[in-house]
Structure 1
C-alpha cells in the first residue's frame, strides 16, 4: 500500500521554500538601490545607475537605506600611470636585488673584484703580446720577401707570382692579427667598465671601500 504524505511535513517544506524565496528577494532588494553623484554634483538614489556615474564611484544601499557596499571611483589616467610606474620600480628593484645577490656570491669584498679584474686583464694582455710577437716574426719574413722582390726588379727580372702571392699572404696575416688585437683591446675596455661598475656596486652593498687601485699594476 502506498504511503500517504504527511500534511504537516508538506506545510513545513512550503514554509521553508517560502522563507528561502523571501531571503532571496530581500538580497535582491538590498542590491537594487544605488546612491551616486550625477554630472551636476547632486546626490541621486535610484534602482539603476548610469554607466558614467559608476566611474565616479557609488554606494549600494540595503532596503533599510544603509550602505551595503561602497564602490570606489575608477582610477584616473594619472593614478593608473603612477601605479604602472610603481610596478615598474618594484620590478627593477627586484632585478637589482637579484643582481646584488649573484654579485655577492662571486665577491664578498670590492678588492676581490679588483684582483679578478687584474687577472682577466693580464690574460688578455698576454694574448695581445703573443700576437704582437707573431706580427714581428711575420714582418721579418715580409721584409725579406719584399727585399728579394726589389732586387729582382732592380736587376730587370720578373717577380715570380709565387713570391707575390707569399707577400700578399704575409700582409694579410699581419692585418688579421692587428684586427684581432684591436678587438681584444676593445674587450679589455669593456671588461674594465663592467668590473668597475661591479666594484662600485660592491662598495655600496657591502659598505666597504676598495683598497686597491683600478690601474692594473705590472707584475713583479
Structure 2
C-alpha cells in the first residue's frame, strides 16, 4: 500500500513540475557556442554571461540582459554594450541567418548592388559629358550673337541656365553614388565577417577584404 502511495506522490510531483513548465510565461533566447540562437525555458549556466533575452510565448521581447563585462573593462578602454546594442545585434544576426546560407550568397548580393551603382554612375557620367558638350555649343552660339552686335536670345540664355543646373545635379548624384558605394562595401564586408563568425567559418588569409568597385573617386572635370 505504501508503495502505491509513494508512486502516487511521485506522479503528482512530476505532474506539478510539468504544469509549472507548461504555464511558464517566458522563454529565454541566447546564443550557444556555435553562434546559433537557442530558445528554451532554461539557460545553461555557461551561456548566462554571454547575455540573453527574455521573451514571451508570442515572441515579444520582455527583457534584454546584456553580456557580462569584466569590471576592469571600462578602465581598459573597452566599449561596454548597452542592452539596445545587444538587441540590435541579435536582430542583425537573425536577419543574416535567415537571408543567407553561404558566404558566397552575401558576396553575390554585394556584387549585384555594386554593379547597380556602377550602371547608375556610368549613365550619370555619360549625361554629364553630353551636358558639357551642349554647354560649349551654347557658349559659341552666344558669342556669335555678341560678335555681330545682337543680343543673346532669352531662350538661349534660359537653356544655358538649365544646363548649368543639370550639371550641378549630376555632380551631386555622382558624389552621392560614391558615398553610397563606400557604405555598401562597408556594410556587406561587415555582413560577411559577422556571418562567418556565426557559422564558425575561419577566414582565408589570402581572401580579399572587399569586392572591387568601379565607382569613380572623383567627379570628371570640364576637360574630360
TM-score (norm. length: structure 2):
0.53
Matched, 1:112 2:105: yes
Residue aligned with 1:216, SS:
coil
1:105-131 CA distances to partner (integer Å, 9 max, x unpaired)? 112222321221111001011011111
Per-residue deviation, 1:205: 1.1
Mapped partners of 1:117, 1:205: distance in 2 = 19
* Cα gap change, 1:89 to 1:210, in 2 (>3 Å): closer
Residue of structure 1 in register with 2:200 after alignment: 207
**1:109·1:208 contact (CA, 8 Å) conserved in 2?**
no
Matched, 1:163 2:159: no
Aligned residues: 133
Match of 1:96 among 77, 89, 93: 89
Which structure 2 residues correspond to residues 14-33 of structure 1 after superposition, within 5 A?
none
Residue aligned with 2:151, SS:
coil
Displaced runs of 4 or more, over 6 A: none
Which structure 2 residues correspond to residues 32-181 of structure 1 after superposition, within 5 A?
87-89=65-67, 91=83, 92-93=85-86, 95-181=88-174
* Cα gap change, 1:143 to 1:94, in 2 (>3 Å): closer
Match of 1:216 among 190, 209, 212: 212
Per-residue deviation, 1:88: 4.0
Mapped partners of 1:160, 1:127: distance in 2 = 35
* Structure with more of its chain in helix, by fraction: 1
Residue aligned with 1:159, SS:
coil
Residue aligned with 1:208, SS:
coil
**2:196·2:203 contact (CA, 8 Å) conserved in 1?**
yes
* Cα gap change, 1:114 to 1:168, in 2 (>3 Å): same
**1:110·1:208 contact (CA, 8 Å) conserved in 2?**
no
Mapped partners of 2:101, 2:141: distance in 1 = 61
**1:131·1:177 contact (CA, 8 Å) conserved in 2?**
yes
Match of 1:197 among 190, 215, 218: 190
Structure 2 unaligned runs (5+)?
1-63, 69-82, 215-224
Structure 1 unaligned runs (5+)?
1-85
**2:146·2:152 contact (CA, 8 Å) conserved in 1?**
yes
Mapped partners of 1:129, 1:154: distance in 2 = 38
**2:114·2:213 contact (CA, 8 Å) conserved in 1?**
no
TM-score (norm. length: structure 1):
0.54
